Structure 1
């Protein structure tokens, strides 16, 4: 079964690369539009483009093969999950019990390796409040006795 998966993956990669090349080589539909307005003659400006040529048919075939390979790989992946001896035998991840990796982390120093060697964090004491100075008063002016 492993050789079949490798073969399908390789076929999918080759098909994807060929499809990319075919799309890049093809001539766009609107490329002749500028030529029809002065410099050259275009067979059809907005009308039917005629029958599909070899490149567009090849692209469609490559797309169909790529889609079939994708579906086959999804089927093979699902079959691996449902084999006995791997997992619980159910295909849905929602039906499986939670594993230790998905459990919430344990708290407490006894369950964390090396936690006994780490000193506890220092407690921060608040700084003492700075006394606000009393408002400055103007010095008393001695009045001179009137003469």
Structure 2
């Protein structure tokens, strides 16, 4: 139950962080605002939006980082409870019955490719050696 709550908070923090970053104006928008472009249309006033959005972004970034660390810690705890992954895979391979497919197994010594001499086609162009 705790891990579901943590996942929900993590996803909501990520979506909120994305939204807040997209709402904020970059530093290049200040030049256009000085000619009367943005101050009259802002919801929070001329300077109030920057402080509110900056604080909200910082808080959501902190929540996102903390939930990321908590999820990583929980994943590590779950992995340690189950043990190593390799012995689990070996156990699964031992439990699965071996099926004879009828395909012969090629040994490494037989896997060498024989060298075949290719004769050059007869042509009027002389071969330079």
Name the TM-score, length of structure 2 as normaliser: 0.56
Q: Quickly say closer, same or farther: Cα 1:35–1:4, change in 2 above 3 A.
A: closer
**Deviation digits for residues 78-102 of structure 1, max 9, x if unmatched?**
111112xx225xxxx7xx669449x
5+ residue gaps in structure 2? 38-46, 92-97, 105-115, 123-129
The aligned residue for residue 59 of structure 2 is 61
Specify every segment of 5 or more residues in structure 1 that has no aligned partner in the other structure, as ranges: 42-49, 102-109, 117-125, 133-147
Report the aligned-residue RMSD.
4.4
Query: 1:113: Cα distance to partner?
Result: 2.3
Question: Could you tell me how far apart the structure 2 residues matched to 1:65 and 1:35 are?
Answer: 32
Change (3 A) 1:98 1:79: closer
Q: How big is the shift at 1:114?
A: 2.8
Q: CA deviation at 1:26?
A: 1.1
Q: Distance in 1 between matches of 2:68 and 2:14?
A: 11
What's the TM-score once normalised by structure 1's chain length?
0.50
> What is the rounded CA distance, in whole Å, between the counterparts of 2:3 and 2:69 in structure 1?
12
More helix by percentage: 2
Do the aligned partners of residues 10 and 98 (structure 1) sit closer, same or farther apart at CA in structure 2, a change above 3 Å counting?
closer
Aligned to 1:141: none
Listed one character per residue, the Cα deviations across residues 53-78 of structure 1 (whole Å, up to 9, x for unaligned) are 10110000000000000000110011
**Are the structure 2 counterparts of residues 21 and 10 from structure 1 closer, same or farther at C-alpha, using a change threshold of 3 Å?**
same
Q: What is the alpha-carbon distance in structure 2 between the residues aligned to residue 58 and residue 77 of structure 1? A: 28
Q: Does the residue aligned with 1:63 lie in a helix, a strand or coil? A: helix
- Residues 17 and 82 of structure 1: is their aligned pair in 2 closer, same or farther, counting only changes over 3 Å? same
CA distance in 1, matches of 2:77, 2:17: 28
How many residue pairs were aligned?
A: 101
Residue 103 of structure 2, aligned match among 115, 121, 128: 115
Deviations for 1:92-144, whole angstroms, at most 9, x for unmatched residues?
Answer: x7xx669449xxxxxxxx9852326xxxxxxxxx8xx8xx8xxxxxxxxxxxx
